[in-house]
Amino acid sequence: MSEPSSLPNQPTPVAASAAALASDVLSRGEPEATENTAIRPFHINIPEAEITELKRRIKATRWPERETVADESQGVRLKTIQELARYWADEYDWRKIESRLSSYPNFITEIDGLDFHFIHVRSKHDNAMPLLIAHGWPSLIVEQVKLIEPLTDPTAYGGSEADAFHVVIPSMPGYGFSGKPTTTGWNPQRIAHAYAELMSRLGYEKYAAQGGDWGSIVVNFMGVQEPQGLLGIHTNMPEVIPPEIDALIWSGNPLPNSLSAEERKACEQVRENKFGYAIVMGTRPQTLTGLVDSPVGLAAFMIDHDWKSHAMIARSFAGVKEGLSPDDVLDNVTLFWFTGTAISAARLYWENAVAGNSFFAVKGVKLPVACSVFPDEMYEAPRSWAEKAYPNLIHFNKLPKGGHFAAWEQPEFMISEIRTALRPLRKSL
């Protein structure tokens, strides 16, 4: 499927070769790598036979009957998933995203006994800020690829040299090309430690971290842990709900009358989403065996994340131009399929529940924090809560458009937000 190997020539000017990157790490005085800590080049190459087998399985799908309602209240509608399957089998071209991912330097390194895959693109600008960008579920590294060139080569994308970033995008444990944990314990706190180790291993003495979904939870825990070198974090899914309010939301009990209209709206938005997928993965991830056997079953489960994203994806497959195209959606689902990571990724929800972590409650970050709030996120974080949750809030902005997958759906807004939000931290580089 894919294995460590020599990387092909990089077609983009910002993507340095694997050899140059490895040499650069050593030149900055890093300790000599051991066999376990070595940073190894990684090449993506899905065999043609696997692509053929995927299409065969799609066409052999055994379909359910049509839903008995005229909306999405029972989940993904039959016409939506059938159109997705038709496009997937007849028109979708995996090699396009494979070529794009392969155009960047890909690597593997072992951290805490597990292989971590990551993309690492260094800017040509000497003053660039190192930035770790963390993905979530049900997305993979494909969610962030639209950010790479504008962040690493800002002068070519409407920015200035002072906006440049070195970009590191790791795949979470059990996701994509990273290793699948064989023991328990890989919760967001442990992933946060591993990401800090990755940035240290790459020789970055000072850096920032950004994330949404699980990526936000992980970088929030990085903020709590305050690893050496972390200057601050940026989140597009702020975790600001007071713990006592968070408990009421999930229990379904009445909310206090003291909440502002904006705070009450945020609570109601969380309740609207219901989080059926999270309940299943958080309690019985191994039961989802069908997701590694049926590609269409996998796709249906993954596109039914939050109701606003689901509706947007459904419109996209109905021919409406949206922030996420059919190719965007299928790039992600197909990578899940080829890597066989539906269940290994789902276990993160179980690990999080075992660790007693909330999705949206305050984590206790004291480092500088920047928040970007998108209107179609699972909930719109109120500024009143953000100021209490993050005592060192350096940026708070509400965007006019975008949802849960902001980097993927509205990359221009996200690029602008990252540049602006993290600018105050550059004086500490």
CA distance 254 to 86: 45
CA-to-CA dists, residue 28 to 22, 129, 161, 204, 283, angstroms: 10, 16, 22, 9, 45
Q: Of 163, 213, 246, 306, which residue is the catalytic one?
A: 213
First to last CA, the chain: 40
What is the mean predicted confidence (pLDDT) over 171-175?
Answer: 98
Q: How many CA atoms lie within 13 A of 339 on its CB side?
A: 28
Which residues fall within 8 angstroms of residue 132, CB to CB, at 6 or more apart?
168, 169, 170, 195, 198, 199, 207, 208, 209, 210, 219
Exposed, middle or buried, 192 (CB in 10 Å: 0-12/13-18/19+)? buried
Please report how the helices 326-339 and 295-303 are oriented relative to each other, as an axis angle in degrees rounded to 10. Answer: 120
SS3 211: strand
Judge whether 90 counts as a catalytic residue. no
Residue 342 has pLDDT above 80, yes or no: yes
Is the link from the previous residue into 130 a cis peptide, with omega within 30 of 0? no
Instruction: Enter the tokens of residue 83.
Output: 């159109």
Q: Of 349, 376, 390, 395, which residue is the catalytic one?
A: 349
Instruction: Enter the tokens of residue 13.
Output: 């000017």
The percent of residues in the chain predicted with pLDDT above 70, rounded, is 92
Which of the pair, 73 or 6, is modelled with greater confidence? 73
CA distance 162 to 113: 37
Task: Residue 381: name the closest of 365, 364, 404 by CA.
Answer: 404
Beta strands 129-134 and 106-111 are: unpaired
The percent of residues in the chain predicted with pLDDT above 90, rounded, is 90
Residue 35 has pLDDT above 80, yes or no: no
Phi, psi for residue 224 in degrees, rounded to 5: -65, -45
Q: Tell me which of 14-23, 171-180, 349-358, 371-380 is least confident.
A: 14-23
CA distance 425 to 367: 11
Question: How high is the pLDDT of residue 36?
Answer: 75
Cβ atoms of 225 and 233 closer than 8 Å: no
CA distance 310 to 322: 12
Distance of CA 360 to the CA centre of its chain: 16
Model confidence at 25, pLDDT cuts 50, 70, 90, reads very low
Question: How high is the pLDDT of residue 33?
Answer: 57
CA-to-CA dists, residue 221 to 72, 280, 369, angstroms: 35, 24, 12
Residue 219 has pLDDT above 60, yes or no: yes
Model confidence at 26, pLDDT cuts 50, 70, 90, reads very low
Model confidence at 14, pLDDT cuts 50, 70, 90, reads very low
Question: How high is the pLDDT of residue 208?
Answer: 98
Question: How high is the pLDDT of residue 6?
Answer: 29
Which of the pair, 235 or 13, is modelled with greater confidence? 235
What is the mean predicted confidence (pLDDT) over 193-199?
Answer: 98
Residue 129 has pLDDT above 80, yes or no: yes
Residue 4 has pLDDT above 90, yes or no: no
Q: What is the 3-state secondary structure (H, E, C) of 349-383?
A: HHHHHHHCCCCCECCCCCCCEEEEECCECCCCCCH
Region of residue 97 (phi > 0: left; psi between -120 and 50: alpha; otherwise: beta):
alpha
Instruction: Enter the tokens of residue 154.
Output: 């800002």
Model confidence at 234, pLDDT cuts 50, 70, 90, reads very high
pTM: 0.92
What is the mean predicted confidence (pLDDT) over 234-238?
Answer: 98
Residue 360 has pLDDT above 70, yes or no: yes
Which residues fall within 8 angstroms of residue 367, CB to CB, at 6 or more apart?
223, 226, 230, 231, 232, 233, 392
CA-to-CA dists, residue 170 to 22, 62, 91, 175, 195, angstroms: 17, 36, 29, 10, 8
Mean residue pLDDT across the chain: 92
Model confidence at 57, pLDDT cuts 50, 70, 90, reads very high
Q: Which residues of 372-409 are buried (b: 16+ CB within 10 A; e: fewer)?
A: bbbebbbbbbbbebbeebbeebbbbeebeebbbbbbbb
CA distance 199 to 214: 18
Judge whether 117 counts as a catalytic residue. no
pLDDT tens digits for range 280-318 = 999 999 999 999 999 999 999 999 999 999 999 999 999
Cβ atoms of 125 and 164 closer than 8 Å: yes
* Placement of tokens 């794009």 in the chain: 100
What is the mean predicted confidence (pLDDT) over 171-183?
Answer: 98
Question: How high is the pLDDT of residue 28?
Answer: 34
Model confidence at 37, pLDDT cuts 50, 70, 90, reads confident
Q: Domains of the chain, with CATH numbers?
A: 2-46+95-240+358-428 (3.40.50.1820), 48-94+273-354 (no CATH)
Judge whether 349 counts as a catalytic residue. yes
Cβ atoms of 142 and 331 closer than 8 Å: yes
Model confidence at 34, pLDDT cuts 50, 70, 90, reads low
Q: State which amino acid sits at residue 260.
A: S
pLDDT tens digits for range 249-267 = 999 999 999 999 999 999 9
Residue 31 has pLDDT above 70, yes or no: no
Which residues fall within 8 angstroms of residue 119, CB to CB, at 6 or more apart?
101, 104, 105, 106, 107, 141, 148, 167, 168, 169
CA distance 97 to 114: 26
Residue 325 has pLDDT above 60, yes or no: yes
Instruction: Enter the tokens of residue 398.
Output: 């509400």
Residue 99 has pLDDT above 50, yes or no: yes
Cβ atoms of 357 and 214 closer than 8 Å: no
